[in-house]
Structure 1
């Protein structure tokens, strides 16, 4: 007889109730998915995708037509002049770092207009490391959010400085307790910057946000964006890598940072991975919406259990991240244990906080993924610091994501009952 996952009848009933309440909101998500799928298919057709592009190269990777065509497809999808899609990017931070260096040199200043950058990216900007912007004599300033919103007057005042050569916008919340920016809000920031500074490049950290809306930041004024292929655009199939898309000169400059000056994107073998990158991109709009549906379900279930969530299930979604404020370490750990137990890989493992590279606090992470660290697969992570906010994201299928959330809820309620 087939076995099923052990979840209490009470939590299963709570899940059914939560799902009934959020289902009316799925229609809008499916409309976005339809539009983005059409956009991807149109780009594939325009660039005449065929299976001869899936063959990989070795060594230098010269004349890798599959790699170079994928660059063109990304540029078409994101509405940019050029793109750089490479398995040589080890993570999103690597792609973002290369993109940031594309616009600045010694003596210039970077302006972050959404408060401090994500934890790992701060090492690139102000870290005491060889090769950081600080080590090159590149300055840094920031404008904090005001009541959780972009402070447009303060942004205009700061961006007017002629030494500002890169304006940095972080779309998602990272490990901050603030809302994700919509593409429309990013467009308002771009407009405000352009009113006082026509030369600075505007860059957006697009991680977690790709395909969450019908348009992307480069279609509302951003000059360059970057992200990870093991998040949304890889569709759960890309085994590694990242992308940069934007103005042709900036993308070229970023490619020199990835490889070497004068080599740029001309080299970089793909070692048989092209098919997964193409197929992952094809799947990306659908998989992204599966993750967002999972996040909505999580929000409703955890809210019913009495926890503060952001965004709420009924609110618009601009990325795949869901936060739950637990206020204490034990329910946070139980939640991560449940997410891990609901994973297809390493479900028997108990996650423990550890000193993850690039973070100041210990981090607990539940991530039983087919691709190590893939945020588009169901995962949950949190720095072990007050107010003990957990960041849940991903879910290759809504059905499996839903089970992971129910297991997490079950772990918490059973621990409370003891």
Structure 2
């Protein structure tokens, strides 16, 4: 690629050439990502054809939303792709945290125990669970929480998990977070999640296994529901929305679990029968159709970032050569200036609000200031080029997204340029 257009976008010759040298070693990996995207693209297309998606499915409804053909067909498409009995896909689910809270609150009852066998969940779930006090938390409704931490090498502590499961017959649901969140542990592959679910089910077949699937959809050829998960939960402004869905979340899984969630989302007695789709269905359908290739672009960006910053001597998770199981790339700078400069670079690469300078702020649901960079067409969309991180030790930034590979590439080069300009990185 000729460097002139990159120079016009603020990328120096030395930064551009540094990136090009990295890219020359990634061609084979990118080809494998494209193969996975092709498989998943055809999987989605097959589901749409089998469920007879028609022009009428794109029209939407108003008011109560009774007999909404498009909504019901879309949920059937999701169930087909995730190989589940049912699915709930709604714009009334406001975000990923809401989808997770909905799945938990609808399938747990007072006196039940929620179990996390993979350590602490994502920060915003702490208030949902009641780890940090909050109005309406599970704890306020008499639902207790227990967890087992991962071993030092990032593996599951099967001995402790067995001990907890066999000593507490009130455990009703096990929640497994696929992605790392704001942690530096490895993301779990679908295969590893399947091994954990199999272990849990052999000991306690009555325990519901739910997987927080955020950032992981379409990264591999299979999904957690293909290896025994009773529910998968996610956000439509992440992978499955393909960058087009402006809001929404999904829960796919066993019919009873999904039905419980529907009754909680709307009302007992109403469930899935209400909830108008308004004019949003074309974006939901087309976004889901595009999601496999959009996810592939984000994956390429994450791998590019890992290899650049690993070569510069920073700790990166996953490392530059590891297999990928989500779209998130963590880079640890060890000081807040690195996190801030990285986010400034991502913001400067954005198509929207590129002129804005991101700053740390007291974001709701977090226990430290957070800086977020996302000049996105959909506010908060983390399948679009974005980066964020808490301003606390070890001062790691979390990069994700990119609707197209060229944009993801530019974003990473802009982060490097920002760090070079501030003297945090010196290229040899």
Q: Is the 8 A contact 1:325 1:388 kept in 2?
A: yes
Matches within 5 A, 1:52-91: 52-91=56-95
> Which residue pairs with 1:280 in the alignment?
287
Q: Identify the match of residue 329 of structure 1 among 307, 332, 336.
A: 336
**Does the alignment pair 1:118 with 2:142?**
no
CA distance in 1, matches of 2:106, 2:83: 19
CA distance in 1, matches of 2:124, 2:238: 16
**Does the alignment pair 1:140 with 2:145?**
yes
CA distance in 2, matches of 1:84, 1:62: 15
**Does the alignment pair 1:356 with 2:360?**
no
> Which residue pairs with 1:23 in the alignment?
27
Task: State which drifts further: 281-290 or 251-260.
Answer: 251-260
**Does the alignment pair 1:291 with 2:295?**
no
Q: Is the 8 A contact 1:22 1:313 kept in 2?
A: no
> Which residue pairs with 1:402 in the alignment?
409
Q: Is the 8 A contact 1:204 1:222 kept in 2?
A: yes
CA distance in 2, matches of 1:277, 1:217: 22
Matches within 5 A, 1:139-178: 139-147=144-152, 148-160=154-166, 161-178=168-185
CA distance in 1, matches of 2:330, 2:139: 32
* CA RMSD between the two structures: 1.3
Q: Is the 8 A contact 1:155 1:192 kept in 2?
A: no
Q: Identify the match of residue 107 of structure 1 among 106, 111, 116.
A: 111
How far has the Cα of 1:261 moved from its partner?
1.4
**Does the alignment pair 1:211 with 2:218?**
yes
> Which residue pairs with 1:97 in the alignment?
101
Long gaps (5+) in structure 1 = none
Q: TM-score, normalised by structure 2?
A: 0.96
Aligned length: 418
Moved over 3 A (4+): none
Question: Residue 92 of structure 2 aligns to a residue in which SS?
Answer: coil
Q: Identify the match of residue 307 of structure 2 among 300, 305, 319.
A: 300
Q: Is the 8 A contact 1:99 1:225 kept in 2?
A: no
CA distance in 2, matches of 1:213, 1:54: 28
How far has the Cα of 1:128 moved from its partner?
2.6
